[in-house]
Protein backbone atom coordinates (compact mmCIF):
# COMPACT_ATOMS: atom_id res chain seq x y z
CA UNK A 1 0.00 0.00 0.00
CA UNK A 2 1.33 3.45 -0.89
CA UNK A 3 1.35 6.58 1.25
CA UNK A 4 -1.24 7.96 -1.15
CA UNK A 5 -3.56 5.00 -0.42
CA UNK A 6 -3.09 5.43 3.32
CA UNK A 7 -3.86 9.13 3.10
CA UNK A 8 -6.98 8.41 1.04
CA UNK A 9 -8.18 5.86 3.60
CA UNK A 10 -7.56 8.24 6.51
CA UNK A 11 -9.39 11.03 4.69
CA UNK A 12 -12.36 8.74 4.03
CA UNK A 13 -12.34 7.51 7.63
CA UNK A 14 -12.38 11.04 9.03
CA UNK A 15 -15.12 12.06 6.61
CA UNK A 16 -17.29 9.15 7.79
CA UNK A 17 -16.86 10.25 11.40
CA UNK A 18 -17.70 13.83 10.41
CA UNK A 19 -20.96 12.70 8.81
CA UNK A 20 -21.86 10.53 11.82
CA UNK A 21 -21.08 13.41 14.18
CA UNK A 22 -23.87 15.44 12.58
CA UNK A 23 -26.45 12.81 13.48
CA UNK A 24 -24.99 12.48 16.97
CA UNK A 25 -25.08 16.21 17.61
CA UNK A 26 -28.65 16.45 16.33
CA UNK A 27 -29.66 13.60 18.65
CA UNK A 28 -27.99 15.17 21.70
CA UNK A 29 -29.71 18.50 21.05
CA UNK A 30 -33.11 16.91 20.53
CA UNK A 31 -32.82 14.69 23.60
CA UNK A 32 -31.79 17.70 25.70
CA UNK A 33 -35.17 19.23 24.82
CA UNK A 34 -37.37 16.14 25.04
CA UNK A 35 -36.02 13.91 27.81
CA UNK A 36 -38.80 13.08 30.28
CA UNK A 37 -36.40 12.97 33.24
CA UNK A 38 -36.18 16.71 34.07
CA UNK A 39 -32.83 16.53 35.89
CA UNK A 40 -31.32 14.98 32.78
CA UNK A 41 -32.15 17.84 30.40
CA UNK A 42 -29.45 20.27 31.62
CA UNK A 43 -26.90 17.45 31.61
CA UNK A 44 -27.77 16.59 28.02
CA UNK A 45 -27.71 20.28 27.04
CA UNK A 46 -24.19 20.61 28.45
CA UNK A 47 -23.13 17.36 26.75
CA UNK A 48 -24.62 18.63 23.47
CA UNK A 49 -22.40 21.72 23.78
CA UNK A 50 -19.38 19.47 24.38
CA UNK A 51 -20.31 17.32 21.39
CA UNK A 52 -20.47 20.50 19.28
CA UNK A 53 -16.96 21.38 20.52
CA UNK A 54 -15.78 17.85 19.71
CA UNK A 55 -17.22 18.24 16.22
CA UNK A 56 -15.35 21.55 15.83
CA UNK A 57 -12.14 19.74 16.85
CA UNK A 58 -12.83 17.10 14.23
CA UNK A 59 -13.43 19.80 11.61
CA UNK A 60 -10.10 21.39 12.50
CA UNK A 61 -8.39 18.02 12.02
CA UNK A 62 -10.17 17.62 8.70
CA UNK A 63 -8.79 20.95 7.51
CA UNK A 64 -5.27 19.89 8.46
CA UNK A 65 -5.79 16.61 6.59
CA UNK A 66 -7.32 18.36 3.57
CA UNK A 67 -10.70 16.65 3.97
CA UNK A 68 -13.97 18.19 2.75
CA UNK A 69 -17.27 18.07 4.64
CA UNK A 70 -19.36 15.98 2.19
CA UNK A 71 -22.61 18.01 2.36
CA UNK A 72 -24.67 15.32 0.60
CA UNK A 73 -23.57 12.71 3.14
CA UNK A 74 -24.42 15.10 5.98
CA UNK A 75 -27.92 15.59 4.58
CA UNK A 76 -28.33 11.82 4.47
CA UNK A 77 -27.15 11.59 8.11
CA UNK A 78 -29.79 14.15 9.14
CA UNK A 79 -32.48 12.15 7.37
CA UNK A 80 -31.19 8.98 9.05
CA UNK A 81 -31.29 10.60 12.49
CA UNK A 82 -34.86 11.74 11.85
CA UNK A 83 -35.92 8.28 10.64
CA UNK A 84 -34.20 6.77 13.67
CA UNK A 85 -36.79 8.46 15.84
CA UNK A 86 -39.45 6.26 14.25
CA UNK A 87 -38.70 3.33 16.51
CA UNK A 88 -41.19 1.15 18.33
CA UNK A 89 -41.52 2.44 21.89
CA UNK A 90 -44.75 0.83 23.01
CA UNK A 91 -47.01 3.74 22.01
CA UNK A 92 -48.07 5.17 18.67
CA UNK A 93 -48.71 8.85 19.37
CA UNK A 94 -47.23 9.97 22.66
CA UNK A 95 -43.75 9.68 24.06
CA UNK A 96 -43.15 6.50 26.03
CA UNK A 97 -40.94 6.18 29.13
CA UNK A 98 -39.10 3.55 27.11
CA UNK A 99 -38.06 6.28 24.66
CA UNK A 100 -35.79 7.89 27.28
CA UNK A 101 -34.02 4.62 27.98
CA UNK A 102 -33.53 3.87 24.28
CA UNK A 103 -32.31 7.39 23.54
CA UNK A 104 -29.83 7.46 26.43
CA UNK A 105 -28.46 4.12 25.23
CA UNK A 106 -28.30 5.46 21.66
CA UNK A 107 -26.36 8.53 22.84
CA UNK A 108 -23.98 6.31 24.81
CA UNK A 109 -23.39 4.22 21.69
CA UNK A 110 -22.67 7.39 19.69
CA UNK A 111 -20.14 8.50 22.31
CA UNK A 112 -18.43 5.10 22.17
CA UNK A 113 -18.21 5.34 18.36
CA UNK A 114 -16.75 8.83 18.69
CA UNK A 115 -14.20 7.57 21.21
CA UNK A 116 -13.21 4.77 18.83
CA UNK A 117 -12.60 7.39 16.16
CA UNK A 118 -10.42 9.42 18.52
CA UNK A 119 -8.46 6.30 19.46
CA UNK A 120 -7.88 5.43 15.82
CA UNK A 121 -6.70 8.95 15.04
CA UNK A 122 -4.54 8.91 18.17
CA UNK A 123 -2.76 5.83 16.87
CA UNK A 124 -2.28 7.50 13.49
CA UNK A 125 -0.93 10.62 15.24
CA UNK A 126 2.15 8.61 16.16
CA UNK A 127 3.27 8.91 12.53
CA UNK A 128 1.11 11.70 11.07
CA UNK A 129 2.23 15.14 12.24
CA UNK A 130 -1.01 16.72 11.02
CA UNK A 131 -2.74 15.12 14.00
CA UNK A 132 -2.19 16.39 17.56
CA UNK A 133 -1.72 13.46 19.95
CA UNK A 134 -2.32 15.57 23.08
CA UNK A 135 -5.56 16.94 21.66
CA UNK A 136 -6.72 13.42 20.84
CA UNK A 137 -5.83 12.24 24.36
CA UNK A 138 -8.05 15.02 25.76
CA UNK A 139 -10.88 14.07 23.41
CA UNK A 140 -10.67 10.41 24.50
CA UNK A 141 -10.82 11.48 28.16
CA UNK A 142 -13.83 13.70 27.46
CA UNK A 143 -15.62 10.86 25.67
CA UNK A 144 -15.06 8.67 28.74
CA UNK A 145 -16.53 11.40 30.97
CA UNK A 146 -19.50 11.87 28.62
CA UNK A 147 -20.18 8.14 28.64
CA UNK A 148 -20.09 8.09 32.45
CA UNK A 149 -22.58 10.96 32.64
CA UNK A 150 -24.95 9.20 30.27
CA UNK A 151 -24.69 6.03 32.32
CA UNK A 152 -25.55 8.06 35.43
CA UNK A 153 -28.78 9.24 33.73
CA UNK A 154 -29.94 5.77 32.79
CA UNK A 155 -31.22 4.58 36.22
CA UNK A 156 -33.69 7.50 36.49
CA UNK A 157 -34.96 6.77 32.98
CA UNK A 158 -35.32 3.07 33.78
CA UNK A 159 -37.17 3.94 37.01
CA UNK A 160 -39.74 5.83 34.92
CA UNK A 161 -40.61 2.52 33.24
CA UNK A 162 -41.96 1.26 36.56
CA UNK A 163 -44.25 4.25 36.82
| Residue 79 predicted with pLDDT over 60 | no
User: What is the rounded CA–CA span in Å between residue 99 and residue 70?
Assistant: 31
Which pLDDT does position 81 carry in this prediction? 52
Mean pLDDT, the chain, integer: 87
Give 60's contacts (C-beta < 8 A, 6+ positions apart): none
Reference 103, options 143, 146, 153; nearest CA is 153
Please indicate whether residue 107 or residue 37 has the higher confidence score (pLDDT): 107
Range of the domain at 82: 3-161
Least confident of 28-37, 87-96, 97-106, 125-134: 87-96
Task: Count how many domains the chain has.
Answer: 1
Q: How many CB atoms lie within 10 A of CB 115?
A: 18
We report the CATH number of the domain holding residue 137 as 1.20.1260
- Helices and strands (H, E) in the chain, number of each type: 5, 0
Model-level pTM?
0.85
Reference 111, options 75, 139, 84, 85; nearest CA is 139
Amino acid sequence: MTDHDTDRFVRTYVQHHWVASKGGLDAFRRCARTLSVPQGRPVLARLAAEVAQDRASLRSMMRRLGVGTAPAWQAAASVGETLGRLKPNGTLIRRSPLTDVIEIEMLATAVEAKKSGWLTLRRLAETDTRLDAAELDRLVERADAQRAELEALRPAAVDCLAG
